[in-house]
Each structure stands twice: as structure tokens, then as C-alpha cells.
Amino acid sequence: MVGATITRRVEPLILHLASGDLAIDPPVVLAPMAGITNAPFRTLCRQQGAGLFVSEMVTARALIERRPETLRMIQPGIGEWPRSVQLYSVDADAMRAAVTMLGKEDLADHIDMNFGCPVPKVTRKGGGAALPYKRNLFASIVGAALRAAQPFHIPVTVKMRVGIDSDHETYLEAAKTAADLGVNWVALHARTAEQMYEGKSDWSKITELVEHLKPTGVPVLGNGDIWSGRDGVAMMEQTGCAGVVVGRGCLGRPWLFTDLAASFAGNKIQTSPSLFEVRELMFRHGQLIVEYFESEERGCRDLRKHMAWYLKGFRVPSELRRQFGMVASLAELRTLLDSLTEQPYPVDVGEKPRGRTSHSRPVNLPYGWLDDPDEMAFIELEDAFSGG
């Protein structure tokens, strides 16, 4: 993928908002990630050039029950617009009520629906990547969201995986159903739920979906293994997708969005911040996250997971890395950061895979889930899980 260049004009994505059409340029979306894409992290990515930035996944039921933590999770950062919320539900009525609530209370400008989460806590209830297998249930939930969103002119999109496993691929049929119902776009993570985050994503599936949806006019966004600006260009060139969704590649590297924007504009120069530049971004992240949680203790506890990602590839003594992983206050973070030695950015390591590397495993499904794809099976209502 080194040296990949755009050979066609990169058109902006169009999001049909209540206030009018919004051109997302560059066509780059920050993927929702559990425990990661809260308002502070979205702010950092927004400042680096992300075109659209989606909240952590929240359950429809937790939202309509007005659980305080769920309401916090959809809280936008200062100046954040459009406000993009990702919803998960296994029940059409709950989805309808949640979308109606977001519309009536003016809490969102865009709604993304999760049909791609592979974690057992979600799939064992028939949610996430498991749900599109039940084609009637899938259609009823997507349809309910679209009908509820229509009076408020809120655009609805869907994000999905290839399927449950290689024997139960659902993406072509499910995407066509969603397109026919009227979604704004379909985003595809080119792995099955069984694959989790193992190996390479199969971009050929994105190509197939682009061709499959061409008659509908609904755009396809690609997701999976975008670690550099060049990767984003390569995905668009190889698959014909209309935009890219970036997840793990921006962990500890929010400037990846700057690189993507540059690459789409034909600029081959990529961002290579020194360690001192990275440390200031780390401290700014700490300040934002403490403000967000209104608690230094909780904010720093949440920040700890980001430390290894920011420092990936830099020469940092193991004891100092351990201390970063236990940081408990902004003052301690400042002291640790000031003890670092200036170094150039480790490009060879910095642009390699990071984040979740789960090995493939059988998907945890409700009993009898695969017996009949047309059955509107009873499903236990989702709990307060808000991530994925």
C-alpha cells in the first residue's frame, strides 16, 4: 500500500440533516469504540480532521430509561457538530422509542445503528453482528428507526460485519434491505463476527457490496485495517467505496485523520510528531477527560488505557511505562511526561496494527438462533451494555 495515490476525485459524503445537506469532506468517519470514543477523544480527533465522529454505542433501552451514564455517553464535546449517536437494540419498539426521544429532545443530528459488534455480551442476546441473520427482525428494527427519525429529519445509517461466520454471511442481503428502507449509507467492517479482530480484513467484501448497492444509489463506507493515510487511499481505490471508517488505527494517534485528509488531497507527506509533541497531546487528553468525568480520579483511571497506545514504538523504560499505566492525577501525569526524553516518531512501529487483536472464536448466540433466518424469535431484552 506504500505510495498509494487517489486516481479519482474523492467526493464528500452527503448527510441529509434537518438543517440541510452536510458535506463530509474528507469522507472519513471516526468509528464508535466502546470505552474510547467519548466526548474528549472525539474532540481530539475532530481537531485533527475527522469528518464525522460517532459516540460510543449505547443501548436503546438504557437511553429511554434515562440512565445517567448513558446520557453522559451521548453528551457532545464543546462545539461538536453534527452530534452523532450510535444505537444498539434487539427490539423494534425500544429502537423506535429511543430514536423518538433523541428527536423530540434534540439530542442528535445523526443516528448510526450497530449491527457489527462481535462481543459475546451482545451476540448472545441476538444483537450486533448476530442480528442481521434474522432478516425479518433486522428489517423491523431498521424500519422502526427510520420511521421514528423521519419527522425530525434525522439521517440514519447502519454499520455491520460480513456476517456471523463464513457459513453465515449476511452483509449483501442485509445491506440491500437497509438501502431499500432508506438508510443514508451502509458501513461494512470486512470481517465476520467469528474473526473478531484477527488477521487481515477482506476488502473484496467491500468491493462486492459497492457493486451490490449501486442500483440503489446508497453509498458504502469501508472499515478494517486502516493504519495510515495511504491505507485509506488504497481502500477507496481498491473497493470503490465512498468513504472510510477508522477505528483502532487512531488509538494513540488521533493525527491519523490529518494524514487521511492529506492523502485524499494527494499529499504524500504524513504526520510524524516527536515524542515531546505526543506528550503534549497526551496531557491535553488528560485535561479533557478529567473535565468530562468531573473527577480527576475517574478521568485518570479512564485515561490509563490510552497510555500504551500513545507511547507505542517510543523508547520508554519499562518502569516508566508501568507508572503511566497507573497514573492517578494530572500532576502525576505532567511529572511523568516531563521525564521523557525527546525522540523522533517511530514510523515503522507507529503505523502498525494496534488495539484489539482478539483471535477468532465461535460466536456466542441465543439457543437455536441459526435454525430459521425468517423466524421472529423471542429475544431477551438488551441490558445496560453500552459499548462494542
HSE-CB at 35 with a 13 A cutoff on CA atoms is 12
pLDDT of residue 206: 98
pLDDT band at 10 (very low <50, low <70, confident <90, very high): confident
- Lowest-confidence pick of 149-163, 179-193, 253-267, 354-368: 354-368
Distance from C-alpha of 38 to C-alpha of 33, rounded to nearest angstrom: 9
Q: What is the mean pLDDT of residues 167-181?
A: 98
Q: Cα separation of 89 and 108, whole Å? A: 17
State how far Cα 351 lies from the chain centre: 19
Summarize pLDDT for 333-388 with one digit per residue, the tens. Answer: 999 999 999 999 998 776 667 766 667 788 999 999 999 898 875 555 455 444 33
Task: Copy the grid coordinates of residue 95.
Answer: 429502537
* Grid cell digits, residue 363: 460466536
pLDDT at 378: 52
Per residue in 322-336, pLDDT tens? Answer: 999 999 999 999 999
Least-confidence region, from 61-65, 100-104, 134-138, 196-200:
196-200
Mean pLDDT value of segment 20-26: 89
Residue-wise pLDDT for 202-255, tens only, equals: 999 999 999 999 999 999 999 999 999 999 999 999 999 999 999 999 999 999
The pair phi, psi for residue 182, each rounded to 5°, is 120, 25
Higher pLDDT, 347 or 192: 192
Mean pLDDT of the chain: 91
Q: Pairing between strand 110-115 and 84-88?
A: parallel
The model's pTM is 0.92
Which residue would you say has higher pLDDT here, 180 or 357? Answer: 180
Q: What mean pLDDT do residues 107-113 have?
A: 97
40 or 347, higher pLDDT: 40
Under the banding of pLDDT at 50, 70 and 90, the label for residue 271 is: confident
Residues 6 or more apart whose Cβ sits within 8 Å of residue 65: none
Query: What is the per-residue pLDDT for 382?
Result: 52
Catalytic residues: 117
Going by pLDDT thresholds of 50, 70 and 90, the confidence category of residue 119 is very high
Strands 20-24 and 13-17: antiparallel
Please report which confidence band the pLDDT of residue 199 belongs to, taking 50, 70 and 90 as the band edges: confident
Query: What is residue 2's predicted lDDT score, i.e. its pLDDT?
Result: 43
SS3 of 225, please? coil
